[in-house]
Amino acid sequence: MSKRLTVLLLGSGGREHALAWKMAQSPLVEKVHVLPGNPGMATQDGRIVCVSGDIGKIAQELKPDLIVIGPEKPMADGVVDRLEAARFTVLGASRAAAQLESSKIFSKEFMQAEDIPTARAVTCNGYAAARAALKTWDVENKGVVIKADGLAAGKGVVVTKDRAEAEQTLHDFMVDAGHPVKAERVLLEETLHGREVSAFALCDGMRFLPFGYICDHKRVFDGNRGPNTGGMGAFSSQDWPSPAARAFISENIFAATLRGMNKRGTPFKGVLFAGLMVDGDDVNVIEFNVRLGDPETQALLPLIESDLVPLFLAAAKGDLSNCSAPHIADETTVHVVMTSAGYPSQNMKLGETIILNPITNDNTQVFFAGIAAKDGSFVNSGGRVLGVTARGATLETARKQAYARIDNISFKGAHWRRDIGGQ
Ligand code: AMP
Ligand code: GLY
């Protein structure tokens, strides 16, 4: 047998745990090194190893056969460009291609130019221009969503309820020095209505393979109440959108994006994530991301039965022409996230010991995120602490199992939604 592969994965959250878990199952793989990873990942599988340090140096030491980039920030900072210049094989978007996520304005102008369906919007340079545009905006009939340009860790978008909130948001983003979001440029956008879904495609620069559909729950409390979060849970969506809608999405969103990025001389390689609003047959792109979703990945990968490593390698090398889309089981997954008390505010209660009661004969998988090791146990060290994925024949069976597993995990102040997968 030829030498088995060394994989290096960048990131530390639940998405990266799921990626490491899945890639470590590949018979082609010797080890998955995760930089920096989290201490929970390595406890479950000896083939997963956490490493620390500078990615350039670590790559030179390990000489990985494949590097996979989890989060968007390093891609927007050019990590893929640097690693490819050093001749590594990398799955991820170049700095130029990452603008699809890192600049809402680039992304909107790109969609407009390529005729990719999206909400109508105007770009405003500076506070005076934004206020003037809002004055003439038909807020009552079209609604208004305000989007700060640039990466804002999910805080740069406000779907406003009225003109007063829109005015306040412009002031927050563009004037208030103490506000966490700062923007020179904003988009004003019409409010879309319908049901949201996250669609994924694995791309090699020219071609893509559809990678599945997942719904996530963004609000912190049951019934979609409270502030937006990174995601409180997710479930697989097997029978929706319809086959016709999926064909439309493939041609008019994924293929159109790849064509448009090629035309600009900045081909898109990696995972393209289209956040979609679907209303009957009407599909619009809310936003593009240049990576897998978190927590969508934790609901997606446990359903994929194919080995992903050959697909990731082929995409990273720029040639998916001999590959077919991964086989997705005809079952359902539900993923429930446990968070620290206070999340998503900055005022969280951290450092609590996490108790994981062992259970047997179980169809679930725990993916760790914001945890640290302390005195031989784990403590919570971030907002999203861990999540449980259950797989079942139906949404209901998967939900039951996920919540049964959650009942066996505890830490002081733990919060989770009780209605994940309930739609
Ligand atoms: P984003 O940071 O772009 O993912 O936006 C966060 C959330 O805001 C999305 O998941 C949607 O729920 C919502 N959103 C963004 N743009 C729109 C829009 N034009 N209409 C309705 N909801 C939107
Ligand atoms: N769950 C949404 C995201 O990963 O951006």
CA of 71 to the centre of ligand 1 (A): 19
pTM of the model: 0.95
- Do residues 413 and 341 touch, judged by C-beta distance below 8 A? yes
pLDDT value at position 357? 87
pLDDT value at position 346? 86
Q: Is the pLDDT of residue 154 over 70?
A: no
> How open is the CA angle 260-265-266, to the nearest 5 degrees?
75
Task: Tell whether 203 and 180 lie within a shared domain.
Answer: no
Q: Is the pLDDT of residue 300 over 90?
A: yes
| Any ligand 1 atom below 6 A from CB of 119 | yes
- Do residues 198 and 216 touch, judged by C-beta distance below 8 A? yes
Side-chain-facing half-sphere of 190: CA atoms under 13 Å: 13
Lowest mean per-residue pLDDT among 59-68, 108-117, 155-164, 285-294: 155-164
Across the range 140-152, mean pLDDT stands at 88
Lowest mean per-residue pLDDT among 234-238, 246-250, 262-266, 411-415: 234-238
202-223 pLDDT, tens digit each: 999 999 999 999 999 999 999 9
Task: Tell whether 128 and 178 lie within a shared domain.
Answer: yes
What CATH number does the domain containing 280 carry? Answer: 3.30.470.20
* pLDDT classification of 1: cutoffs 50, 70, 90: low
Domain with 361, as residue range(s), is: 196-423
Across the range 1-9, mean pLDDT stands at 90
Across the range 314-325, mean pLDDT stands at 98
pLDDT value at position 360? 72
pLDDT value at position 227? 86
CA of 201 to the centre of ligand 2 (A): 15
The total number of structural domains in the chain stands at 3
Instruction: Please give the number of the atom of ligand 1 that sits closest to the Cα of 189.
Output: 19
**Protein residue closest via CA to atom 13 of ligand 1:** 159
Task: Tell whether 227 and 249 lie within a shared domain.
Answer: yes
Across the range 29-36, mean pLDDT stands at 98
pLDDT value at position 423? 61
Q: Is the pLDDT of residue 323 over 80?
A: yes
Instruction: Please give the number of the atom of ligand 2 that sits closest to the Cα of 289.
Output: 5
Task: Tell whether 238 and 151 lie within a shared domain.
Answer: no
**Ligand with the closest atom to the CA of 111:** 1
| Any ligand 1 atom below 6 A from CB of 285 | no
Task: Tell whether 180 and 213 lie within a shared domain.
Answer: no
3-state secondary structure the chain: CCCCEEEEEEECCHHHHHHHHHHHCCCCEEEEEEEECCHHHHHHCCCEEECCCCHHHHHHHHCCCEEEECCHHHHHCCHHHHHHHCCCCEECCCCCCCHHHHCHHHHHHHHHHHCCCECCEEEEECHHHHHHHHHCCCHHHHCCEEEECCCCCCCCEEECCCHHHHHHHHHHHHCCCCCCCCCCEEEEECCCCCEEEEEEEEEEECCEEEEEEEEEEEEEECCCEEEEEEEEEEEECCCCCCHHHHHHHHHHHHHHHHHHHHHCCCCEEEEEEEEEEEECCEEEEEEEECCCCCCHHHHHHHHECCCCHHHHHHHHCCCCCCCCCCCECCCEEEEEEEECCCCCCCCCCCCCECEECCCCCCCEEEEECCEEEECCEEEECCCEEEEEEEEECCHHHHHHHHHHHHCCEECCCCECCCCCCCC
**Ligand with the closest atom to the CA of 217:** 2
Among 278, 286, 296, which is best to mutate for testing ligand 1, by the most ligand atoms less than 8 A from CB?
A: 286
333 found inside a domain: yes
Task: Tell whether 166 and 211 lie within a shared domain.
Answer: no
Give the whole-angstrom CA distance, residue 65 versus residue 108: 35
116-136 pLDDT, tens digit each: 999 999 999 999 999 999 999
324-382 pLDDT, tens digit each: 999 999 999 999 999 999 999 889 999 999 999 877 767 899 999 999 999 999 999 99
Task: Tell whether 299 and 154 lie within a shared domain.
Answer: no
Of 139, 162, 189, the position where a domain reaches its end is 189
165-178 pLDDT, tens digit each: 999 999 999 999 88
| Any ligand 1 atom below 6 A from CB of 351 | no
98 found inside a domain: no
Of 42, 77, 93, the position where a domain reaches its end is 93
**Protein residue closest via CA to atom 4 of ligand 2:** 293
Residue 368: burial class (beta carbons within 10 Å; 0-12, 13-18, 19+): buried
Task: Tell whether 128 and 143 lie within a shared domain.
Answer: yes
Instruction: Please give the number of the atom of ligand 1 that sits closest to the Cα of 191.
Output: 20
* Mean pLDDT, rounded, of the chain: 95
Task: Tell whether 268 and 393 lie within a shared domain.
Answer: yes
